[in-house]
Amino acid sequence: MGKKLKRGKAGNAVQYITRTQAIRKLQLRLSEFRRLCIFKGIHPREPKKKFKGANKTYYHMKDIMWLAHEPLIDTFRRITVHRKRIQKAKAKRNRDLLKRLKTLKPGYRLDHLVKERYPSFVDALRDLDDALTLVHLFAMLPAESKYGIPSNALEKARRLTLEWQAYLVRTSSLRRVFISVKGYFFQAEIMGQSVTWLVPHQLSQVMPTDVDYRIMTTFLQFYSTLLQFVNFKLYHSINLRYPPVSDSRLEEVAAELAAIMKDLTGVQEEGLKESANLLSASSGSDPNVIGSASASSEQDSEVVKARIEGLHSRLREIVDIGKSSAASSTPSKKKEGVKSKAAKEDEEDEVIIENFGDIDSGNEDESESEEEDEEEEEE
């Protein structure tokens, strides 16, 4: 007869762990644990028998042990220590220390996580649907400070979407488009993989209050890194430089896609000229091959140049209208008092002290509801 096992030594009690136990084991805050699970792709599990109660969230023990070896945990701890130093300097009103701590803010990168979760480029293309949908959604949203959405993240999202669209236009990879109430559904075929994503309508976006934007911003941070890797690989696959340089004049008239396409066309023309020169310089080159390559490049360049000339003409019309309206109206200038240099420096220091708590806005916003989340988990 075998030895009787003790309670809690085998089965679900060993294979699964609750969220509170996992947080204590990793020595992290609840917000940091959520962020780490999103970055690593760890999801809760549903055991057959919930030994700690039905209202608990369970994780697999192997997943938690895998998280324990993540280098980002040390970075999160350094960020917590840095935030405490800021709070102490703010309480002591040490302005010099606050300015110095602003430049010493610890940061982290997610490159190793992208390579870890997607060993091959095809794996990244298969999981690109949700990434494109979320990045296009944030590209349409306004920068609202009360929701904790940083403006630089939105600008990066807009930039990545334009680079993705420019690649689709350049390679003619778009296959299907469908318009619905939710927005525009696009489907493209890239390297034999079908990629489908949703783009919302270009309307004034209403920010609902019942949405946790902190979690969505965390997903945006990872998906932006993933899309940047994908764009880099796709651009280099067609011999184009990355990131492309956009034309500032076309961006001013809200022609961002045309501004990037202008750079792509210029790079392609330079590459074709270099290849034609190499063919002509090589011995025994066929003149018919050189003629066909130059003819195709001239046709492509003529089409793009015609589009760019149309945009330039539209830009000139807008500038002329603005000059005429400015000449007709003579706005009155208001006199402003000149402040002394010392007073300006004092005001800048006061602003730094008041607003320095937002140096790590994502972590600060998450720490506000951390105690409530922990109380719910303990209950």
- The pLDDT tens digits of the residues spanning 166-185 come to 899 888 899 999 999 999 99
Q: Tell me how far apart the alpha carbons of residues 329 and 331 are, in angstroms, rounded to a whole number.
A: 6
Residue 259 has pLDDT above 70, yes or no: no
Q: Tell me how far apart the alpha carbons of residues 76 and 360 are, in angstroms, rounded to a whole number.
A: 11
Task: Give the other-Cβ count within 10 Å of 187's Cβ.
Answer: 15
- To 10 degrees, the CA torsion angle through 72, 74, 75, 79? 140
The closest alpha carbon to 244, from 308, 166, 150, 182, belongs to: 166
**Position 363, amino acid:** N
- Mean of per-residue pLDDT scores for the chain: 77
Structure confidence at residue 241 (pLDDT): 84
- The DSSP secondary structure of 348-365, one letter per residue, reads HHHHHHHHGGGGGHHHHH
- Comparison of pLDDT for 153 and 14, the residue scoring more: 153
Which residues form the domain of 72? 12-105
Range 21-32 average pLDDT: 91
* 234 lies in the same domain as 251: no
Q: 242 by DSSP, 3-state: which?
A: coil
* 118 lies in the same domain as 209: yes
Last residue of a domain, one of 46, 80, 105: 105
Answer whether residue 138 is part of any domain. yes
Q: Tell me how far apart the alpha carbons of residues 153 and 128 are, in angstroms, rounded to a whole number.
A: 19
Tell me which long-range contacts 190-199 makes (C-beta under 8 A, separation of at least 24).
190/125, 190/234, 191/121, 191/122, 191/125, 193/122, 193/125, 193/126, 195/125, 195/128, 195/129, 195/132, 196/129, 197/128, 197/129, 197/132, 197/133, 197/136, 198/133, 198/136, 198/137, 199/136
> Structure tokens of 166?
């420019």
Last residue of a domain, one of 273, 291, 318: 318
Structure confidence at residue 334 (pLDDT): 42
Answer whether residue 2 is part of any domain. no
* 233 lies in the same domain as 124: yes
* 231 lies in the same domain as 121: yes
Sheet holding 184-190, edge to edge: 174-179, 184-190, 193-199
* 146 lies in the same domain as 232: yes
* 227 lies in the same domain as 116: yes
Which pLDDT tens digit goes with each residue over 80-110?
999 999 999 999 888 888 888 888 888 889 9
Structure confidence at residue 11 (pLDDT): 64
Last residue of a domain, one of 318, 337, 365: 318
Q: Tell me how far apart the alpha carbons of residues 146 and 173 are, in angstroms, rounded to a whole number.
A: 39
* 118 lies in the same domain as 211: yes
* 76 lies in the same domain as 152: no
Which pLDDT tens digit goes with each residue over 301-317?
666 667 677 766 766 77
Answer whether residue 347 is part of any domain. no
Asked if the bond preceding 243 is cis, omega within 30° of 0, the reply is yes
The percentage of the chain sitting over the pLDDT mark of 70, rounded to a whole number, equals 63
- Provide the number of structural domains found in the chain: 3
* 40 lies in the same domain as 157: no
Q: Tell me how far apart the alpha carbons of residues 56 and 46 are, in angstroms, rounded to a whole number.
A: 10
Which pLDDT tens digit goes with each residue over 139-154?
988 877 778 888 888 9
Structure pTM?
Answer: 0.68
* 181 lies in the same domain as 250: no
Answer whether residue 351 is part of any domain. no
* 181 lies in the same domain as 202: yes
Q: Tell me how far apart the alpha carbons of residues 161 and 167 are, in angstroms, rounded to a whole number.
A: 10
* 42 lies in the same domain as 148: no
